[in-house]
Amino acid sequence: MKKYSVFCNMCGKEIKTEAGRDGEDVLSVEKAWGYFSEKDGELHSFDLCEKCYDRLTAQFKIPVTVKEQSELL
């Protein structure tokens, strides 16, 4: 089984993974910036561990929308 690591861009924590599956959950974001931005043509990506996600979203003026899932994959 191939092992690799993902690192949280905020705190630097290593999130260990195995065969493409995270050992713990991680938020991965990828944004292709387009026209009318100062980043036109750039592709930005980052990963956050759950603790850093909570820290970041706690600062939002408008809270994250949360819905319960009936089935977990």
Give per-residue pLDDT as tens, 7-23: 999 999 998 776 656 57
The candidate with the shortest Cα–Cα distance to 2, out of 15, 16, 14, 18, is 18
Q: Which domain holds residue 14?
A: 3-57
Q: Is residue 68 in a domain?
A: no
Domains contained in the chain, number: 1
Q: Is residue 72 in a domain?
A: no
Q: Is 68 left (phi over 0), alpha (psi -120 to 50) or beta?
A: beta
Asked which of 49-53, 61-65, 68-72 is least confident by mean pLDDT, the reply is: 68-72
Q: Is residue 62 in a domain?
A: no
What distance in Å separates the CA atoms of residue 41 and residue 8, rounded to the nearest whole number?
A: 24
pLDDT score recorded for residue 22: 54
Is residue 53 a contact partner of residue 35, using CB atoms and an 8 Å limit?
no
3-state DSSP assignment of residue 48 = strand
Query: Residue 49: exposed, middle, or buried by beta-carbon count in 10 A (0-12, 13-18, 19+)?
Result: buried
Q: Is residue 22 in a domain?
A: yes
pTM: predicted TM-score of the whole model, two decimal places: 0.79
